[in-house]
Structure 1
Amino acid sequence: MVRAIKWVDEVVPAAPYVTTLETLDKYSCDFCVHGDDITLTVDGRDTYEEVKQAGRYRECRRTQGVSTTDLVGRMLLVTKAHHSCEEMSSEYREYADSFGKCPGGRNPWTGVSQFLQTSQKIIQFASGKEPQPGETVIYVAGAFDLFHIGHVDFLEKVHGLAERPYVIAGLHFDQEVNHYKGKNYPIMNLHERTLSVLACRYVSEVVIGAPYSVTAELLDHFKVDLVCHGKTEIVPDKDGSDPYQEPKRRGIFCQIDSGNDLTTDLIVQRIIKNRLEYEARNQKKEAKELAFLEARRRQEVHSERESDCDF
């Protein structure tokens, strides 16, 4: 999964949880990068302490509103408050607040917040490259919800269909996905799904809010050479028509077997099955983070007092 991210050059399987200088040197890394949230060992120590002290640590701001806790909460509550960036319902907010809460308060890392999409975020993820002469334009469409290895394997197979592929992924609106998937799908809203798919090295462009039926206008506009769909069921459009009627008529439609049976539904089922374990783990994680914050706060206060005494 990580290998499919377009900014990743190499993956180290089974890497140690505590990052050491030995690990950085072994893989010829100049420095280590992590978000501005903390990760702690079982005894409450900073996992990046050694590389920080050596000056080989860099930090980037965590993306506001992107949270595993939030996604798990959406699956368990089965609400649609996250669709189209709607305001969280009071029920969802109450659950989201309590999901990662342990006795003694909250910390700024474990919890949820609303993701706000901006054009700058999209620019950071987009390649900005137009199809070049000689490239084969391949169009795929779907929800790509909870972007996972099943999606990656499918897109990799699609990418391998041509010597010089240009893969365009059409992402359906939240309401469209909910129409054919039901329940509270999609778990991730359109903005979140867009960035997930754009981060994949096998995708060149994304159509945000693509029509459910692949139209002649879309095929002509993007000069599509091939339209692909996986082995999942093709649900008819609202009028009962085949959404791939036009590419089939043109003889440019094909179905691809990714060889991977993982689906978004299976992931959600796993989460629901292990609900209590997830909640307990999250609360334990927050308790450690709060203890770390309190210790750091006391240390800062102590340092300030010593500084005042110098005068």
Structure 2
Amino acid sequence: MSKTMKRKPIRIWVDGCFDVMHYGHANALRQAKAMGDYLVVGVHSDAEIEKHKGPTVMKEEERYAAVAACKWVDHVVPNAPYFTSLEVMDSYSCDFCVHGDDITTLCDGTDCYQAVKDAGRYRECKRTIGISTTELVGRMLLMTRDHHKRKSSIASINNEDLSTFSSSPSKQSPETKISHFLPTSRRIVQFSEGKEPNPGDKVVYVDGTFDLFHVGHIEFLKRAKALGNYLLVGVHDDQIVNAIKGSNYPLMNLHERVLSVLACRYVDEVIIGAPYSVDNNVLSQVYKVDIVAHGNTPSLPDLNDKDPYEIPKQKGIYVEIENPSAELTTAGIVDRIIKHRIRYEERQARKNEKSKLEEKLEEKLKTNLI
């Protein structure tokens, strides 16, 4: 009797900053994981990023935790070197490295992936157009502008420019405009697990804005999932968020926020554009909800001044979760940017110059290949 040879699992290496972890990062990790069986992700330290790009928005421990919460990641390597080396890949038994189809360079202009390219152990995935940390920082730097003042329909606010806001007409940059993200059903399906609760599963429902998805959100979702077997998350639409919170919120549009939530390993399903108040439709029309959870921080009243959790409280299914990361909020992340505005504006300028050099290098490489 012949023995069936067991295939050796393909191990993949991806590295990066993952500063303000967004759906573009998650999409790259999703594509990388699809190329093999086990995904190892190296995350650079604050010191390494400061040297090659400038100051980080999120601290390294926050970035490590955000990457670890992505459902396509199997192992996180903290303090990974900025220059991707074969030695580090070999130490984690990785067969090849995956990166987006754009060039990343060290501060001296060296291609970060030249060594693995030369060794034939480099693969590319498609970069997600329209999102980057640089672009998100640009949105935060321009928080003083009222990009939600114009009245828009739901269709236009989801599919078009949320604003025309910029620091000034003379300094307008494509890096600092609000998202032009166009949602597609294919992208939603790619991020969704598509699984239903099993008979007897306890369904937990939570809702929120989930703007600039961060470790505070992640820890809350982790604790909510622990209350049951299946976690259903409601994400409020842009008009509701802006009406309740005011200012320039949300910084990310509805579908950007939905993808970030779907990429979290603790989430099973999402209601896109969930009502701000938890009503009977939410509690029964998608799945029968057994528990409604909320953080142990005050919730803003609905537009009619009512408690948004009045119905689940009356039904006796409302539970409060103590979140040890509650001090980290979307507003707190924006404050980091505003307080250190000059440093981040310098980072934006450095990044723009670096991008121009990387584009020239990419063109040169393409020319040499012809």
- Is TM-score (shorter-chain normalized) higher than 0.5? yes
SS in 1 for 2:206: strand
Q: Which residue of 1 aligns with 2:322?
A: 257
Aligned AA (1:220):
S
Report how many residues are paired. Answer: 293
Q: 1:9, CA displacement in angstroms? A: 0.5
User: Hey, what does 2:166 align to over in structure 1?
Assistant: 92
2:299 to 208, 226, 234: 234
Letter in 1 for 2:114: E
**Whose radius of gyration is greater, 1 or 2?**
1
Deviation by residue 1:137-159 (Cα, 9 ceiling, x = unmatched): 00000101100000001111111
SS in structure 2 at match of 1:37: coil
| TM-aligned CA distance change 1:171 to 1:100, over 3 Å | closer
Q: Deviations over 1:237-271 (max 9, x none)?
A: 22222111111111100110111120111000001
- Give the superposition deviation at 1:233: 1.7
Q: Secondary structure at the match of 1:92?
A: coil
- The structure 2 residue matched to 1:23, chosen from 59, 65, 88, is 88
Corresponding position of 1:54: 119
CA–CA distance in structure 2, aligned partners of residues 59 and 276 of structure 1: 34
The alpha-carbon deviation at position 300 of structure 1 amounts to: 5.8
Matched, 1:130 2:204: no
Matched AA of 1:19: T
What does residue 3 of structure 2 align with?
Answer: none
Which residue in the other structure is 1:117 paired with? Answer: 183
Structure 2 unaligned regions, length at least 5: 1-65, 149-155
Conserved? CA contact 1:99–1:283, under 8 Å = no
Counterpart residue identity of residue 155, structure 1:
L
1:1-311 residue pairs with structure 2 within 5 A? 1-78=66-143, 79-80=146-147, 83-87=157-161, 89-92=163-166, 94=169, 97-98=172-173, 114-162=180-228, 165-221=229-285, 222-260=287-325, 261-295=327-361, 297=363
How far did 1:62 drift? 1.0
Query: By how many angstroms is 1:29 displaced?
Result: 1.1
Q: What TM-score does the superposition give when structure 1 sets the normalisation length? A: 0.87
Q: 1:83 offset after TM fit, Å?
A: 4.7
Q: Secondary structure at the match of 1:207?
A: strand
How much does 1:96 deviate? 7.9
Distance across 1 between alignment mates of 2:68 and 2:369: 44
Q: Letter of the aligned partner of 2:196 in structure 1?
A: E
Instruction: Give me the whole-angstrom Cα distance separating, in 1, the residues matched to 2:309 and 2:366.
Output: 63
Aligned-pair distance for 1:192?
A: 0.3
TM-score, normalisation: structure 2: 0.74
Equivalent position of 1:307 in the other structure: none
Q: Distance in 2 between matches of 1:96 and 1:69?
A: 16
Measured after TM superposition, the shift of residue 90 of structure 1 is 4.5
Task: Give the CA deviation at 1:92.
Answer: 3.1
Q: What residue ranges of structure 1 are gaps of 5+ in the alignment?
A: 102-110, 305-311
Letter in 2 for 1:98: S
Question: CA offset at residue 218 of structure 1?
Answer: 1.7
Give the counterpart letter for 1:265 in structure 2: A
SS at match of 2:123: strand
The AA in structure 2 aligned to 1:145 is: D
Shift of 1:303: 7.5
Q: Which moved more, 1:278-287 or 1:153-162?
A: 278-287
**Alpha-carbon shift at residue 289 of structure 1 (Å):** 3.4
Structure 2: which amino acid aligns with 1:65?
G
Does the C-alpha gap of structure 1 residues 88 and 97 become closer, same or farther in structure 2, counting only changes over 3 Å? farther
Relative contact order (alpha carbons < 8 A, sep ≥ 6): 1 or 2 greater? 1
1:69/1:99 contact within 8 Å kept: no
CA 1:232/1:95 → structure 2, altered by over 3 Å: closer, same or farther? farther
